[in-house]
Structure 1
Amino acid sequence: MAKQIPPPPAEAAPRPGSHLADLDFHHPYTPYDVQLEFMRAVYDTLERGSVTSSTANNNNSSSSNSNSNSNSHIGILESPTGTGKSLSLICGSLTWLRNHKRRQFAAALQLDPAQVAGEPEWIIEQMLRRKERELRRKWEEREARLQAVRRREGREAEKANARERKRRKFGGEVEGGKKDEEEEEAEFLLDEWDESGGAGGRAVDDASDPLAGLSKETRALLQNVGMAGVGVDAADEEPPEDEIKIYYTSRTHSQLTQFIAELRRPRFQPSIAEDADSTKDPEQQTETVKQIPLSSRQKLCINPSVTKLGALAAINDACSELQKPKAKHKCSFLPTADNLAATHQFRDEALATLPDIEDLHRLGKTHQVCPYYASRTAIPSAEIITLPYPLLLQQNAREALGIKLEGNVVIIDEAHNIMDAVASVHAAEIRLSDLRRGRQMLGMYFKRFGKKLKGENRIMVAQVVKVIDGLAEWMTASLQNKTDNGIVEPNALMKHKGVDQINLYKLIKYIQESKLAFKVESYASHIEETDCTQSAGRAKQPLSSSSTSSPVLHSLAAFIITLTNPSDEGRIFYEKITSAPRPSSVTTTTTTSAPAAGATATAATDIKLSYLLLSPTHAFSSIATSARAVILAGGTMSPFEDYKTHLFPYLPPQSITTLSCAHVVPPSNLCVYTLTATKPKATDPSDQFEFSFQKRGDKGMIRKLGQALLNICSVVPDGVVVFFPSYGYLEQVVGVWQTVDGIGSGNGSGSQGKTLWEQLQGRKAVFRDSKAASSEETLEEYSRAILGGGDGTCDLRGSSSSKGGALLLSVVGGKMSEGINFSDRLGRCVVVVGLPYPNMNSPEWKARIEYIEASTVKRLLSSSCPTMSSMASATKTPHEAATATSTTGTTRTTTLTREQATAQAKQVARDFYENACMRAVNQSIGRAIRHRADYAAIVLVDRRFAAERIRGKLPGWIRGGMAGGGSSGGSGGGGGGGGNEGGGVQGLMGGLNLFFRARRGGAREGV
């Protein structure tokens, strides 16, 4: 038997099922219990995914089918905002990664017994030592190179302000002025195109090629800088091996930047164990994390002649144009053999310094090399790759970036909106005004270049015109119809002008490869600039798109793609538009209501077609079944059922881990109260609060709500934030409060004769969110009213302002409900008015419900489908799932009648509808408590919040605050809704008084 180097100690790399309690996660601080629980859940999820996955570096092909790694493990993990979730994700995942790499290193030292059969032991020993030295040498050389870069960066940082670089002339810039005919043809005329070879060259379609799927120009560029082992001078350095990676994504650019900042805090053990003869102190045995951010050309391009185009699609096309061999003005920043040294320098500095997107942009300018392409050279050696949602969720975006998920880890942060995010990146929209503008631009282009277009170009441009005319014909006719919105079948759109006779797949390929949109838009822009110069600035409606919008023909191509999608996956909706055109999202939210048919007061001036993906299952499955493990993490993931049912219906219960962590704040810092009625134990409907769609217009109830808020504002110090179901209802409520008949009973001196609105303004400075107003300005004014700071001073945790603080009226799902922290004095009380159910009568929600019911019936009647009872047994509430272990058990199957399946499917659809509402509520509630020392009251105003079914969908830490029984906010501080939702306004005031009196006492005692 061959002698082997012993693997690292078992406690450094526990296997699934082993004890995780003693594992060191290298947290930079002493972690709280909930942080330890969260890190163990992260580690266990990744470990379970790695057990039955294929080899660690199974990244060689992106063409594997969607079930290539069906043993991947899913973690749905909830940790309230303010509990250090990002740092816990980092420590849990990177501790696992380094332990996994150590196991890989130990496995690599093993010898095949057949190769050493009959060899003396000393020979085997030498072979093992030689192999170990070679592996260690590669690692040490890379680390030494990166350490040298870090030392140099430290020295350069001290001189950064004094250093100036000679400005380089940017390629691709052309002096303004009128172009001659030859210049116009060179810049705007379409290249010859054929379906097999695309525009200007032979197509590449080799599944064994690691660069397959990328454009010809991009392939050549990446080969020049040594990607995939092509074009590298072996004497210079060996091509890096592709290592296992963690792909981390979050919702916004600022969240990614914050995550990268958190990466700099912890220190992790090296991915290779120190040699037995090493004299290093174990405390000094660390290895810096290697991270690279990926983003679009829009964020990373450093060529001003390209970035000035603004729109992402235009920038992408312009970049491709500058790469072509016949391009007159090439981009001088693209990686080539001539600047290979600068590209490698860029790579090493990026890997050594944990850069964010702005750092990469600056680094590219410093080395005069394109950061968009040069960053790819760092991917093989990176451990963590950060990227925004769209680049991960779209398969074509992953392919364009060369992202391989097979065998790697995916972490999606702020994942409470992941299903909406998947729908959003697959959405498409086109307006009649866009089509008319596109038709004009094509006509202008054809008039100038029509005789010079040859072969396929002439045919394909004519087909694009035919599609535009066909869609415009249907939309123009629909503009005259009485219905304002609805669903349209793709066949109905395609029967006009003979569009149904066109090969749409070929047409899409043509638009994408020929750069038709870029050429036509660029020519239209050129003509407009020339006309503007000649007409001395006469006002004229521009044809070309603005710098912030997508080119019309790109939008058209995106919409044509939806016409080729399977009909059961999505629907196409139409909607008349009465206002001026403005950018809008196709994805419906839980707080917007579609206008009812025939409700338009003025004649519609435009109409839009929009595509909505009804189910994220198929679109997300390419991620879930490729990666070894996927973690969905967020502060408000509850309720969990939707993710299991609609994202992972094909996975067995034992493949999904769920966890809902408690909050780090002590129970005494949280008071939760359910206000169901104005009077204690009220049974009269007129005294109850129920803001359902049928009852929310009751002016008497709206006035009683205002009086309750008056009482709350008299007790709660500093900031009170109130969330309403929609902007429309907020305006309706304020309108009642501002009217004379909205005068309250008055409960304070000086209130006689004042409206409720005036009384509220007397208690606190009142602000309200609106669709038109700037959320930043509103928040700034609100904060100043609470914190002061007019003289430049602000006190976040000090005493109340002289007026008593401020009241902010906002909307669930609106601009103030996500991404804004109402910590400390900014949010001492959060009030949620009603349950913000989506508009069930909107065409979008009708289509969603119909799809869920139909797909659920189909799944239930399938012989391989788990029954609803077995699915329910694996779906515990977040409070019950307070451990980091997987749900286990066997999946039962049974035969259902169609009637039984239909009944269960209707329940699944109802749950999805209700869960959409509760996710929005939970996100709004989570704005309040932001750190361990924070405290706040949460008031849920609606009798429906007292229902156990609704409470079961609140986060566990909120339900914990409801468990205080009859005393609200007493010494235990837990507060209250558990047994006192029948206490009315009087009970609420008593509870709030006790809670804030205890908090003021605690503050004086230094608690």
Structure 2
Amino acid sequence: MAAPTSEEPIDFHHPYTPYPVQLEFMRTVYDVLERGNGQVGILESPTGTGKSLSLICSAITWLRNHKRKGFDAGLDETKRQMVGEPEWMVETALRRKREELVGKWEEREERLERLRRKEKELEERGRERKRVRVEEGQMGGRKEVDEEEEFLVVVGGGEDERDEEGLSRETREMMVKVGLGGWKKEEEERDGDEGDGEGIKWQIYYTSRTHSQLTQFISELRRPEFPPSLPVEILEKDGKEETKETVKEITLSSRQKLCINPTVARLGSVSAINDRCTELQQSKSKEKCAFMPNTENLKQTHQFRDTTLATVPDIEDMYRIGKQLQVCPYYASRTAIPGAEIITLPYPLLLQKNAREALGIELEGSVVIIDEAHNIMDAVANVYAADIRLSELRRGRQMLGVYVKRFGKKLKGENRVMVAQIGKVVESLKDWLETQLQVKGDQGIADPNSLLKSRGADQINLYTLMKYIQDSKLAYKVESYIAHAEDSQDSSPKSSTPVLHTLVSFLAALTNLSTEGRIFYEKLPGDNPDIKLSYLLLSPTHAFSSIASSARAVILAGGTMSPFEDYKAHLFPELPGGKLTTLSCGHVIPETNLFVHTLASYKPGGLDTFEFSFGKRSDKTMIKNLGLVLLNICSVAPDGVVVFFPSYGYLDEVVGVWQQGEGDGGGKSIWERLEAKKPLFRDMSSSTGGGASSTDDILGRYSTAVDAPDRPHRGAVLFSVIGGRLSEGINFSDALCRLVLIVGLPYPNLHSPEWKARIEYLESTCVARGGSKEEAKVEAREFYENAAMRAVNQSIGRAVRHRGDWSGIVLVDRRYGMERVRGKLPGWIRNGMKGEGMDNRGVAGLMGGLGAFFRGKA
């Protein structure tokens, strides 16, 4: 069966009856994937419109159609090769070809079905999971340690070449034998219906920001059913009944999430776990990991592969299956990659080229779907970001001193030289920061060349040093020895802060292209003076280019992708216009379920204007007027009201003004009058005691107040911050948010070193491309404004989470009436404004519309 043309209707096998906006979204995804050849789709579908399920149905439908199309093409090729032969010979050849492919498909599906039944039986019977048996000494507890064997670095001689993960040649050869390296040919022979016959795999790589988001996606992936990847008419011709084919999915993750070796997993930090794991695989290591796939547990490794492909596992399932089979999920998962149709993985494993290479990921011919893509540029920057503090460098220098004192005479040749060079680098960075600590000014940009001028460190080849640290696992060995030495002197166990791993990450950042990043210093508050160096990637273009240039197609999808311009300009700057598709879907809610209003002034006629710009936002009259607006809103809004401010500092300032006991209302403060309307809750910044636990506590108490049965229409007010912990990933559905109030625009601080560097980079890049200085300034302003509007759109997206939900949205600032700003709002929000321009009716106009909206919902 050929894939449908763009005019033909497509059955996306959606488990429910899709809404028109979902059909539009799925059709767009399908068209982008079908055109291929480096196509890019930037798609916005509001939260509550079933975006994840729409991505699944459109992408898997395309993949299965594409496989069937490839199957037909293979039969057509056989016909072409036999032109002029008798008809009976052609039919015989075609029948054999069909039988061969159907036989492989059927054998694989029967094997996976048996495993599915086995898994289901285990779940139904509630069988207690087997405990992992480990080799003697691997369950922890104190044991005698040969310090030289355990902690002494020994690199040199050239007989033990290692790959990107630090694995020895011996380990790599063993991995090839069990199908963990060089697997491609073997797997393509086993699964002959995968790919295009020219070594290109047809697969979908799906990535999102967090493991919890990936888990939610996988739960959605289990809902729909799809027809088999072989043409139904071929199966029927061979006497097979039409059947469904379970989607073959594998989840990739880090060792930190998948390691089942208790002595390694308990190290905690990603760097320490990675180093210890690879240390155990090196050929000279006497203490091998009992769970590493090898020729002795080949059966378990293959069973892991087949079980995961049969059951659509999430990360917890991967860990459980590996533990049951006593085989490492991190390494064994690689055997499932060739047979998988969809591979899910977190951002870092996709965005870092060396991580993709280590996992055996090949994007050529594949589809890449990046969900929650509104923060993809920040995600790229975060993957390459690094920082280090003066206190950490001092601690690192002390640790190296203790290590050299113990092992210095045992270090030979290259090892002694390299350890000394690391000491020089640490000393140079420490000297620079100690000098900067005495200089006026709390922050600024650091010249990378000046950081290593002290102690002759500027003569050291950082690339060679980094390779040595990787090969020798020096950071792990030094930190492990210090933890061992401290533990032996104290009965209470201590964990060493991964100081040297932090240094390694920062040195890696120093080797990046200087044109694309900057290094900043910042003095830190506290009783003990400290100062921090931070590396910031200014442009994601170079880091993202290997993905964009390799994949068949890239989909960026999110609930709030507006404004779109930055993604093309900074992720795909060389992309021809004909290869870019953008879509902003409407919402699935009826128009009557949304009320959007921009409030430009307190009084009619534009008097007492609301403008929360940096120079005007401290005006006490305006702040008090804002409080009076909220009082009016709380008089008519049922249930929960969520208010977002530009920053934690400004939230504190506003609350301080509202708490002053003066003004109208019988001497009561605005804050007290608000409390009389609804209970008040506020998010706190980390610097004032806020954190994940406090955020959970605030949310819990706010939810309880909204749901209080004694006064069901009273609700509560929650004060938060745009870009804060409550502005993303939080579901304020139904009664939790019947109105969201956005105060001002969260423009970043243009005077900060980071934003100065960003603006300078954007302007210089524009001029280098041939643009004028004026065009450069316009481009930089757009990027600056877009950053603020993306944060606003994320906060707005906390409300209206499903088809039956309803909410009011009030944007308080005259600048929201400007067409340039309004144009950067999501389409469904702009449509909700119903042509409203600059609103000069004041709070009276707001309350008239808002009162009617809520009365219609009573």
Superposition TM-score tier, normalisation by shorter sequence: over 0.9
Shift of 1:119: 2.9
CA distance in 1, matches of 2:574, 2:806: 42
CA distance in 2, matches of 1:215, 1:249: 30
Shift of 1:14: 2.4
Identity of aligned residues (%): 62
Of residues 397, 402, 409 in structure 1, which corresponds to 2:360?
A: 402
Of residues 833, 842, 848 in structure 1, which corresponds to 2:743?
A: 833
Of residues 128, 132, 139 in structure 2, which corresponds to 1:163?
A: 128
CA distance in 2, matches of 1:281, 1:788: 62
Corresponding residue for 1:656?
Answer: 580
Shift of 1:553: 1.6
User: Structure 1 counterpart of 2:539, which letter?
Assistant: S
Of residues 214, 220, 224 in structure 2, which corresponds to 1:256?
A: 214
CA distance in 2, matches of 1:106, 1:239: 14
Corresponding residue for 1:562?
Answer: 509
Corresponding residue for 1:545?
Answer: 496
**Is it true that 1:220 corresponds to 2:183 in the alignment?**
no
CA distance in 1, matches of 2:191, 2:778: 59
Residues 932-972 of structure 1, C-alpha deviation per residue, up to 9 Å, x if partnerless?
A: 11100000000111101100000000001101x5xxxxxxx
- Structure 1 pair 119/961, CA: closer, same or farther in 2 (3 Å)? same
- Structure 1 pair 203/349, CA: closer, same or farther in 2 (3 Å)? closer
Residues 209-247 of structure 1, C-alpha deviation per residue, up to 9 Å, x if partnerless?
A: xxx99764662353132235569999x978996641100
Summarize the alignment of residues 710-725 of structure 1 with structure 2, pairs less than 5 Å apart: 710-725=631-646
CA distance in 1, matches of 2:77, 2:725: 60
Corresponding residue for 1:599?
Answer: none
- Kept after mapping to 2: 8 A contact 1:485/1:843: yes
CA distance in 2, matches of 1:176, 1:802: 56
CA distance in 2, matches of 1:955, 1:665: 15
- Kept after mapping to 1: 8 A contact 2:166/2:471: no
Summarize the alignment of residues 590-605 of structure 1 with structure 2, pairs less than 5 Å apart: 605=529
CA distance in 1, matches of 2:417, 2:821: 59
SS in 2 for 1:386: strand
Corresponding residue for 1:511?
Answer: 469
CA distance in 1, matches of 2:517, 2:130: 52
User: Structure 1 counterpart of 2:660, which letter?
Assistant: T
Corresponding residue for 2:4?
Answer: 14
- Kept after mapping to 2: 8 A contact 1:737/1:756: yes
Of residues 830, 833, 840 in structure 2, which corresponds to 1:959?
A: 830
Shift of 1:192: 2.4
CA distance in 2, matches of 1:455, 1:351: 49
SS in 1 for 2:828: helix
User: Structure 2 counterpart of 1:996, which letter?
Assistant: F
- Structure 1 pair 691/109, CA: closer, same or farther in 2 (3 Å)? same
Corresponding residue for 1:184?
Answer: 147
Shift of 1:143: 0.7
> What TM-score comes out, normalization by structure 1 length?
0.81
CA distance in 1, matches of 2:178, 2:324: 18
Q: Please, which moves more after superposition, 364-373 or 117-126?
A: 117-126
- Kept after mapping to 2: 8 A contact 1:240/1:381: no
SS in 2 for 1:810: strand
User: Structure 2 counterpart of 1:225, which letter?
Assistant: V
- Kept after mapping to 1: 8 A contact 2:814/2:838: no
User: Structure 1 counterpart of 2:656, which letter?
Assistant: G
Summarize the alignment of residues 464-479 of structure 1 with structure 2, pairs less than 5 Å apart: 464-479=422-437
Shift of 1:177: 4.4
Shift of 1:158: 1.4
- Structure 1 pair 426/171, CA: closer, same or farther in 2 (3 Å)? farther
CA distance in 1, matches of 2:240, 2:805: 38
Corresponding residue for 1:796?
Answer: none
Of residues 902, 906, 913 in structure 1, which corresponds to 2:784?
A: 913
Shift of 1:116: 3.4
CA distance in 1, matches of 2:475, 2:235: 64
- Kept after mapping to 2: 8 A contact 1:486/1:575: yes
SS in 1 for 2:774: helix
Residues 611-666 of structure 1, C-alpha deviation per residue, up to 9 Å, x if partnerless?
A: 00000111111111110000000000000011111111111111110000000011
Corresponding residue for 1:110?
Answer: 76
SS in 2 for 1:633: strand
**Is it true that 1:727 corresponds to 2:692 in the alignment?**
no
Q: Please, which moves more after superposition, 720-729 or 443-452?
A: 443-452
User: Structure 1 counterpart of 2:673, which letter?
Assistant: Q
- Kept after mapping to 1: 8 A contact 2:191/2:339: no
**Is it true that 1:446 corresponds to 2:404 in the alignment?**
yes
SS in 1 for 2:216: helix
SS in 1 for 2:681: strand
CA distance in 2, matches of 1:475, 1:934: 53
**Is it true that 1:613 corresponds to 2:537 in the alignment?**
yes
- Kept after mapping to 2: 8 A contact 1:222/1:373: no
User: Structure 2 counterpart of 1:38, which letter?
Assistant: F
Summarize the alignment of residues 782-861 of structure 1 with structure 2, pairs less than 5 Å apart: 782-788=702-708, 801-802=711-712, 804-859=714-769, 861=770
- Kept after mapping to 2: 8 A contact 1:73/1:629: yes
User: Structure 2 counterpart of 1:758, which letter?
Assistant: E
SS in 2 for 1:486: strand
- Structure 1 pair 498/818, CA: closer, same or farther in 2 (3 Å)? same
- Structure 1 pair 922/281, CA: closer, same or farther in 2 (3 Å)? farther
User: Structure 2 counterpart of 1:982, which letter?
Assistant: N
User: Which runs of 5 or more residues in structure 2 are unaligned?
Assistant: 196-200
Runs of 4+ in 1 over 4 A off after TM superposition: 112-115, 174-178, 212-215, 228-234, 236-242, 279-284
- Structure 1 pair 640/576, CA: closer, same or farther in 2 (3 Å)? same
- Structure 1 pair 115/172, CA: closer, same or farther in 2 (3 Å)? farther
Residues 253-312 of structure 1, C-alpha deviation per residue, up to 9 Å, x if partnerless?
A: 111000000001111111101344728999953211000000000000011100110000
User: Structure 2 counterpart of 1:907, which letter?
Assistant: V
Corresponding residue for 2:255?
Answer: 297
- Kept after mapping to 2: 8 A contact 1:636/1:955: yes
CA distance in 2, matches of 1:77, 1:403: 25
Corresponding residue for 2:379?
Answer: 421
Summarize the alignment of residues 606-645 of structure 1 with structure 2, pairs less than 5 Å apart: 606-645=530-569
Of residues 377, 391, 397 in structure 1, which corresponds to 2:335?
A: 377
CA distance in 1, matches of 2:128, 2:34: 48
- Structure 1 pair 959/497, CA: closer, same or farther in 2 (3 Å)? same
CA distance in 2, matches of 1:240, 1:273: 12
- Kept after mapping to 2: 8 A contact 1:980/1:987: no
Corresponding residue for 1:870?
Answer: none
Summarize the alignment of residues 842-991 of structure 1 with structure 2, pairs less than 5 Å apart: 842-859=752-769, 861=770, 901-963=772-834, 978-979=836-837, 981-991=839-849
- Kept after mapping to 2: 8 A contact 1:213/1:399: no
Corresponding residue for 2:671?
Answer: 757
User: Structure 2 counterpart of 1:224, which letter?
Assistant: K
Shift of 1:556: 1.2
> What TM-score comes out, normalization by structure 2 length?
0.95
- Kept after mapping to 1: 8 A contact 2:167/2:278: no
Residues 49-101 of structure 1, C-alpha deviation per residue, up to 9 Å, x if partnerless?
A: 1xxx4xxxxxxxxxxxxxxxxxx010000000000000000011111000000
SS in 2 for 1:575: strand
CA distance in 1, matches of 2:546, 2:803: 39
- Kept after mapping to 1: 8 A contact 2:610/2:814: yes
Shift of 1:140: 1.0
Shift of 1:563: 1.9
Of residues 494, 500, 507 in structure 1, which corresponds to 2:452?
A: 494
Shift of 1:127: 1.5
Corresponding residue for 1:152?
Answer: 118
CA distance in 2, matches of 1:282, 1:487: 69
Shift of 1:165: 2.7
Corresponding residue for 1:124?
Answer: 90
Corresponding residue for 1:881?
Answer: none
Give the alignment's Cα RMSD to 1 decimal.
2.3
Q: Count residues in correspondence.
A: 846
CA distance in 1, matches of 2:95, 2:531: 73
- Normalized per residue, the structure richer in helix is 2
Of residues 613, 630, 633 in structure 2, which corresponds to 1:709?
A: 630
